[in-house]
Amino acid sequence: MTTDAPPDRLALDNRSPYFNEAALDRGIGIRFKGVEYTNVAEYCVSEGWIRLPVGKSLDRRGNAMTFKHIGPVEVWYLT
């Protein structure tokens, strides 16, 4: 049995301090409130939230607008 677990907090934005390219290359599965999501921009398991994009809306810097959803988060490596 391995204790290899994904990071507690992970972001897709490479400017974020929570960006981890090795974990993203390996693939992360995310389940939020029992539903699997593939479009999560950032998550935190210990604080219990995910950030999802809001349609195709962009902020003034050209980044996707996100909305923070609070609830139970489960993560695992796909490979």
Beta bridge partners of 32: 35, 73
pLDDT score recorded for residue 79: 84
Q: How far apart are CA 15 and CA 44, in angstroms?
A: 17
Q: How far apart are CA 31 and CA 72, in angstroms?
A: 8
Helix/strand/coil percentages in the chain, nearest 5? 10, 45, 45
5 SS3 class: coil
Q: Which pLDDT tens digit goes with each residue over 21-45?
A: 999 999 999 999 999 999 999 999 9
In this structure, what token pair is assigned to residue 8?
Answer: 């507690």
pLDDT score recorded for residue 12: 95
